[in-house]
């Protein structure tokens, strides 16, 4: 079950990141974050009311609040980096955040077997190589790398926090709702401050009409991100966090493949080799 839900997480996060990166190339990143999270919060609010999730309110929700504070910072940094592109280079560096939940798992006493340790190493190396990392180049490229590393640490922290935010399925719905509401509060405040300082909330070309036309895509990004957080929490609660975190962090491979299929970004030899290593690491983790 852990492997299945963790791999579902990587698929959902990969597609959400791809969608967010594409949207940010035309719409301000803060607007993408806030609008997508608003849509997700509305859907989750309905789910919480329908399932009676409010009865699960308790001290664990502070983990969800903390995740909601860190999440917008990570998403904003990552979407800006993806907009600078290319996605196939930026996205794999975001997976380095896996060190946070893996470290937490080791600190609480998890000791994966030899094959799983090998799988962790192979998968992480594969994910990084899948982007054909280019750390030298123009200042814009260096800025993209810095933003991605900030996002990576934030994503890893969110993974560690959300895994602790609930112990039941209905409680998980409530935790994800609280996380989204906090996301909106933090992201909305940042958007307000940005506009007051002269920044834009709407695209320069097309304005609000572009945002309205993008609502289906924004909804997909927000809901895919929510679903990914949910499947990861389930994976982490039903198996070793070290295994769940690494498998969930294969999402950059999905983003790179989506960029290849939709945007026509060509995969270099090192990227193809990295994808193969990621797959081998996945097998070792799932069977270890």
Tens digit of pLDDT for each residue in 252-279?
A: 778 778 877 787 766 667 767 776 777 6
Does the pLDDT of residue 113 top 90, yes or no?
A: no
What is the pLDDT, as a whole number, of residue 39? Answer: 95
Q: What is the mean pLDDT of residues 79-98?
A: 70
Does the pLDDT of residue 137 top 70, yes or no?
A: no
Q: Could you report the per-residue pLDDT of 147-202, keeping only the tens digit for each?
A: 888 888 888 898 889 888 888 888 889 999 999 999 999 989 988 998 888 888 88
**If DSSP states are collapsed to H, E and C, what string results for the chain?**
CHHHHHHHHHHHHHHHHHHHHHHHCCCCHHHHHHHHHHHHHHHHHHHHHHHCHHHHCCCCHHHHHHHHHHHHHHHHHHHHHHHHCCHHHHHHHHHHHHHHHHHHHHHCCCCCCHHHHHHHHHHHHHHHHCCCCCCCCCHHHHHHHHHHHHHHHHHHHHHHHHCCCCCCHHHHHHHHHHHHHHHHHHHHHHHHHHHHCCCCCCCCCCCHHHHHHCHHHHHHHHHHHHHHHHHHHHHHHCCCHHHHHHHHCCHHHHHHHHHHHHHCCCCCHHHHHHHHHHHHHHHHHHHC
Q: What is the mean pLDDT of residues 197-220?
A: 86
Average pLDDT, the chain: 81
Query: 9 falls in which pLDDT band (50, 70, 90)?
Result: very high
Does the pLDDT of residue 140 top 60, yes or no?
A: no
The least confident of 31-40, 45-54, 209-218, 254-263 is 254-263
Query: 138 falls in which pLDDT band (50, 70, 90)?
Result: very low
């Amino acid at each position: 079950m852990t492997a299945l839900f963790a791999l579902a997480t990587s698929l959902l996060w990969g597609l959400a990141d791809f969608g967010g990166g594409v949207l940010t190339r035309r719409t301000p990143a803060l607007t993408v974050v806030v609008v997508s999270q608003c849509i997700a919060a509305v859907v989750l609010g309905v789910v919480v009311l329908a399932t009676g999730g409010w009865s699960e309110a308790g001290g664990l929700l502070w983990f969800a609040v903390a995740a909601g504070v860190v999440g917008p910072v990570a998403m904003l940094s990552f979407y800006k980096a993806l907009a600078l592109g290319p996605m196939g280079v930026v996205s794999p560096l975001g997976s380095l955040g896996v060190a946070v939940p893996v470290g937490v798992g080791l600190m609480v006493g998890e000791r994966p077997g030899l094959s799983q340790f090998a799988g962790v190493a192979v998968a992480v190396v594969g994910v990084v190589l899948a982007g054909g990392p280019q750390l030298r180049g123009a200042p814009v490229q260096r800025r993209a790398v810095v933003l991605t590393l900030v996002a990576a640490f934030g994503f890893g922290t969110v993974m560690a926090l959300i895994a602790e935010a609930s112990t039941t399925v209905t409680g998980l719905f409530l935790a994800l709702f609280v996380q989204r509401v906090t996301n909106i509060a933090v992201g909305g405040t940042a958007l307000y401050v940005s506009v007051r300082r002269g920044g834009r909330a709407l695209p320069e070309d097309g304005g609000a009409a572009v945002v309205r036309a993008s609502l289906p895509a924004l909804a997909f990004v927000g809901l895919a991100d929510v679903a990914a957080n949910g499947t990861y929490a389930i994976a982490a609660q039903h198996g070793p966090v070290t295994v769940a975190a690494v498998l969930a962090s294969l999402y950059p491979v999905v983003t790179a493949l989506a960029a290849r299929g939709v945007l026509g970004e060509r995969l270099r030899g090192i990227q193809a080799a990295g994808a193969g290593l990621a797959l081998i690491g996945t097998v070792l983790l799932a069977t270890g």
